[in-house]
Structures are given as structure tokens and as C-alpha cells.
Amino acid sequence: MKQQAVSTLSLSPNAVKVLEKRYLMRDETGNPVETPEDLFRRVAKHIASADAAYGKSEKEIINIEQTFFEMMTSLDFLPNSPTLMNAGRPLGQLSACFVLPIGDSMESIFDAVKYAAIIHKSGGGTGFSFSKLRPKGDVVGSTKGISSGPISFMTVFDTATEAVKQGGTRRGANMGILKVDHPDIMEFITCKDNNSRLNNFNISIGITEKFMQAVEDDADYDLINPRKGTVAGRLKAREVFDKVVAQAWKNGEPGIVFLDRINASNPVPALGEIESTNPCGEQPLMPYESCNLGSINLSKMVKTACDATTDVDWIKLKNTTWQAVHFLDNVIDVNRYPLEQIDQMTKSNRKIGLGIMGWADMLIQLGIPYNSDAAIKLGEEIMAYIQTEGRLASAALAEDRGPFPNYEQSIFAGEMMVRNATITTIAPTGTLSILAGCSSGIEPLFAVSYVRNVMEGTKLIEVNSHFEQKARELGLLNRELMGNVAETGSIAHFDQFPQELKDIFMTAHDITPIDHINMQAAFQKYTDNAVSKTVNFSNSASTRDVEDVYMLAYKMGCKGVTVYRDGSREDQVLSTTEQKQAVPVSTEQKRVPKKRPSMIKGVTRLMNTGCGNLYVTMNEDEEGRLFEIFTNMGKAGGCASSQAEAIGRLISLALRADIDPIEIVKQLKGISCHQPSWQESGRVLSCSDAIAKAIEKYLCSGKNGNGNGKSDCQEVMRIGACPECGGTVEHEGGCAVCHNCGFTRCA
């Protein structure tokens, strides 16, 4: 009996595009063979089928399927991407998070490489602790040779990940963790200093309570050789901590994970210690464990009374929580695990990770500023409610199905019988939030308005639906103003908007790092696992600012911290601070390029490209304005050289006709070819991209075309062009996501 699709499915055009590109089943020619309704029906049917093993009748299973279907099509709840992609399909792998062990032997290391490749192929992300590997320079007993250390083996994992395309839908992602007392810790801290290395890894330092105490006491601490278990040296804790802070300030990595705190809430400590997490850090797992995640859309958990006042719909939130726990527990049974060890370990503890998205939207609907005490208080109440109701739902399942097999060895034994060792996790929901049309995780809005590429050469201005309504009420919904707002994404510096509106529609650019940590800590208080969150800093932030956030996160009970300082990665997108007014030009008028002065000065920048070295010379006129561009390939002749010269001539023509150089950068940056390259400042996608980045660096080095020595660009919290669509990639939820096409750098 086939159920009919309900009418509640209302997807944005962008959500439909992302579904078609990444989730819907395709035929051999690459064309979708199912609709979004078909996808949700496929998933609901497959997940509901698990109830047959627990004595449910066919009629009951049909009703459960319909409940799951309506929960997803109403966008009240969505499971993690592998479940949407693979449920009811031959691959059948439904989990997002995995942790694999790495022992101190070649056999263990390369088993982990093989297992990781299998997991990546199935659509999952992997976490590793390299802390058991002997340090660099240590003796290899079997050969009497010298160990190359954990960092060298990380490059093996990175290369293997690069070679695996995850079913054509998701790229591989890894988490690499090294304990702070490992002898190679200083090398690990800086292992991603070069942007050409370990690009398929997020890295975090495994911090211990002992180390943090030594930092506070300005004391030394012991380094431990993991092979021998003996002291291998001592370091000043403050110097190591300062190095971590400085590196995170420089390029966002490493993050920090408080391992002792994670193990203090380990639900089954008798089985051993937790040493690693999934790639975004929110899911600590035992070796060979996996976890499936899902998120409740809080923007749908708000009700409006007859007098137009709004409040949290607690009854709907309870019902959705119970249904979601049922759904996620079923996933464990119908999941097709990539390894037998993972199957056994996952079913022994039956961990699930129920989290949220749409938090910023809920606050906007309730009229509560993100950075207010009221928001912190409500965040605690919401998560405490979900955690409590989630455990009650798990307990109800345990009555019907039995507790998880390792229950007697768990912290719950003798107190509360539950079906799942953990219930709650707050994950990044970058792509899911696009499908749901809501804000990501517990992050503030990434923008109230932004430009979205819909096809080659076509751009649309996207406006947050709640903001659009408010702007319309105020008579401010016009294309010119929305276009100006879209340049930075924020209304904080626009006088047209009242302060009350600015307070409600805050973006990640507008709140302080302390506000980020306060919100993360509020949700962590009632989350079984961990909270994925990016703490954003302005470009002018100091290392002391980063240090203060790390210490605050530690003192407030967070289990880890990920930071990103605006502009700390060279390949990020730049936006103009002020929108220059376009000069009207008559259709009968021709714009004549300015004549070249008799004397001109400039600078030359070397850019590495896949075609060879490209020298880009940027010359100024007498007033210090960018006037012309010359290019020269290191190896003369050929198509690449002629194309680069042609681009340079056209850019020069545009500059001499008073075209804003920022607009030229926007057109050229992100264009890719078959032969990208790397240099110290990041990836160079093509010769066009190289020229754009050379101009961009010039503009942001104190040259802005008005001779005042100030930069004409405002660096916003964006880390570059999407490699698939050229859209803007944002740092949020401990991950990086393109809100245009759904591309993500995290599994």
C-alpha cells in the first residue's frame, strides 16, 4: 500500500537544487529518477521497516512510516545526509560518524587506512587518534630503524582520502587528534601551517586536565613516550598553549578537545577511554563505534497565539523528540555497516545523536537577540527539555525492545534503563539547513541577505524570510538596499534599519567571540556528546583574544573549541566596505579609456599556477590608483601565456575605464581549470584565479585607489569560492559549507 505525499512539503528553489544534485537517485545518464517526496518516502519506509523485528504489525509499520514521512516532509526533523542519500538503496550505509583505532604497528596503521577508505566510499567521515604511535626518531624494534612519527603517517591517510570519491555525493573528511603529552606535539601543532598539506584533515589537540592546570600554574609538564609509557621530556605548558593559540589565530587550526572532560561523561567507561571524535568534533566515539545523527528544526517549534504573540511550542517539541529518537534507534538496526567490527560495537552501545537546527530563526521569531541573557536561558531550557524527553523516549523503547547490550557496564545501570548510551549531539547542519530552509545548528545567521549563483552568469539576491517580512513592513524591501546588504550579509552598519531590528537580526559577523562561547556552553550543559560550533573573530583580533576564548570554554564546561579569525586564510572572498555609486552612462555615450601617463610605477607578484610561474605586474597612475596589469609566464609561448596576456590587456582596459577592481576580482576569482596548483597562501585554481588573487592581495595591502593608504576591502568571514559552483564558502558549526549548492568540506 503506497502512501500519498502530504501537502506540507514546501522546499525553496535552492533546497530542490541541492536535493537534485546530492541526494536524489539518478539513472545511468545522471538524471534524477525520484522526486523529493519519493526520497522522503523511500527513507521513511526503510527506517520504519525496523519495527517488524519488534513485533509490530504491517498496519502499525505503515502508520510509523507515515509518521516518519510527515516529520521529514514538514521539515520538523531531518536525519544526517548518509541516511537521506542511502536509506532504501543498495549501499545502505546510514551513519555520518566513525572512529577507527590506530595502534603502534604497520599492520594497524594500514588496516586503518584501508578501513577509512571503505568508510569514505560509503559516505562517512572518520576520526583518529595518533597518540599511540611512537614519536619521530624512536627505534623500530623489528628493523632497528628509526620511526618517522605520527605526522608522516597522517599524510598517508590524507592521500588515501584524496583518492576516494564518496559515491559521487560526499568527499572524505578526517579528524586527527594527538594528545598534548605526546613527544611530537609541537610538530603536530604546526603540521597544517602549510596550506598544501593535510587538506582532508581537521586537527585538534587532545587537552588533559593536568595540562590545563600546568598552564594556569605556569609549570612544566611531562611528555610521555606511548611505546614505553615513560617520560620522554618536559615542556613548559604555557609555551605549548601559546603555540596552539598562535597557530589557531593564524589559520584556524588546531582546535582543542578536552579529552578528560569527554571521558568524564563516557557512558560506558568500563570499555575503555574515548580518544577521538568525528571530523567536526561533536561526536566522541570509542574505537570502531559509529553514530547516526539527526536534527530538530526549531524554527518549526514556534506557535503564534490569537493575539499574535509567539512562544515555544513545547508539546510539538516533545512529540518530535520522541518520534526522532524512535527514528534514530531504528536506523541502527537497518544500517548496513561498512565493517563487521563497526556493526558489533555500534549495536552494543546504540548511540544516537539528536540535535537541533534553526536556533537563530527561533530567536528571531520570538524577538530575542542572539547575544542576550534571555537567549542563553532559553537555549538551556530547550536543550534540557530535549535531553529529558529524549531519555524518556529511549527508556520507553528499552521497555519494549530492551536496553543497549552494554547497559550493565554503563553509568545508567541500576538507575534508568535506556535503549541508547547517548541521546543528544549538536552537529553542524550546513546542507541539512539548506534543505530545511533554516539557520545552521546553534549558529547565528550567516547572513540576512546574500548573493546566490543560480547558473552561469546569473546571480540572485537571497533574503532571509523573517527579515524580508520585517523589511517589507518597514517599507525597506527594495532591490538596491538588499543588494547593498548582500555585500556584507549584515545590517549592523546601515542607518536605514532601526536598532531593534539590528539587535534581532544579528549575524556571525556582529556578535563577539565571548557570545559564541556563552551559547556553546549553554547547549553543552544538556548535551550528552558535544556541540559543534565555530567561534568567529574579526581580523583585528589578537592572540590574547583567542587565548581568552580557550580559557573561557574550558572554565564553562565546553568539550572542545573551534575558532576562525576573519581573513586568516589567504583564499577568502573579499567584499567592499562601501558600495560605490554607479555613474549613469547614456546609451549614446562611449566610455574612453584614460591615456597612459609618461611615467608609472608598480609591483610584481609571483603566482604559482598549474601552467608554471605567472608574474603579475600591477601599475598605478599618478594618484595611486590601480591603472594596468601586465602578465608574463615563466615559460614563454604557448596558449597559457597568450591567454594570460589577453586577460591582462582586458583588465587594463577595464581599469583605465574606471571599472572598480573589486568587480574584476569577483569575475575572475574561483575560475578553475584541470590543473590547479598550490602556493604558500593557498590553492590557485587557474591562471585567471591567480591574476585575481594577485590583484586582491594588492588591494588589501593598503592600496585602494583613493590615495589614502587604507584598504578598500572588508574581509568577511568567508574562506573562499566553492570549488563546485563558485559560491561563497562559510565557516560555521566547526565546518565549511557553501549555502549556494550544499558543498561541504566536512563529511
The set of catalytic residues is 278, 280, 282
Rounded Cα distance, 452 and 462, in Å = 6
Rounded Cα distance, 232 and 63, in Å = 62
| Axis crossing angle, helix 237-251 with helix 543-555, rounded to the nearest 10 | 110
Are the C-beta atoms of 705 and 639 separated by less than 8 Å? no
Task: Kindly give, in sequence order, each residue whose CB lies less than 8 Å from that of residue 38, ignoring residues fewer than 6 positions away.
Answer: 24
DSSP string, 103-122: -SSHHHHHHHHHHHHHHHHH
Q: CA 147 → CA 143, 156, 222, distances in Å? A: 10, 15, 21
| Axis crossing angle, helix 661-668 with helix 687-699, rounded to the nearest 10 | 150
Q: CA 378 → CA 210, 436, 439, 459, 466, distances in Å? A: 34, 22, 17, 37, 20
Task: Kindly give, in sequence order, each residue whose CB lies less than 8 Å from that of residue 519, ignoring residues fewer than 6 positions away.
Answer: 370, 375, 376, 379, 442, 533
Are the C-beta atoms of 195 and 569 separated by less than 8 Å? yes
Element (H, E) at 647: helix 638-656
Are the C-beta atoms of 166 and 747 separated by less than 8 Å? yes
Three-state secondary-structure class, residue 47: helix
Q: How do strand 310-312 and strand 302-304 relate by DSSP bridges?
A: antiparallel
Residue closest to 175 by CA, chosen among 91, 237, 231, 119: 119
Element (H, E) at 145: strand 145-146
C-alpha cell at 147: 620511526
Amino acid type, 170: R
Query: Cis bond leading into 287, ω under 30°?
Result: no
Are the C-beta atoms of 330 and 347 separated by less than 8 Å? no
HSE-CB at 586 with a 13 A cutoff on CA atoms is 3
Q: CA 249 → CA 438, 545, 549, distances in Å? A: 30, 9, 11
Report residue 380: phi and psi, to 5°. Answer: -60, -45
Residue written as grid cell 569575475: 667
Residue closest to 327 by CA, chosen among 80, 68, 42, 52: 68
Characterize 421-439 residue by residue with b for buried, 16 or more Cβ atoms within 10 angstroms of its Cβ, and e for exposed. Answer: bbbbbbbbbbbbbbbbbbb
Are the C-beta atoms of 205 and 244 separated by less than 8 Å? yes
Q: CA 143 → CA 25, 140, 313, 619, distances in Å? A: 51, 6, 66, 60
Q: How do strand 77-79 and strand 290-297 relate by DSSP bridges?
A: antiparallel
Helix H segments across 335-437? 340-349, 359-366, 373-401, 430-436
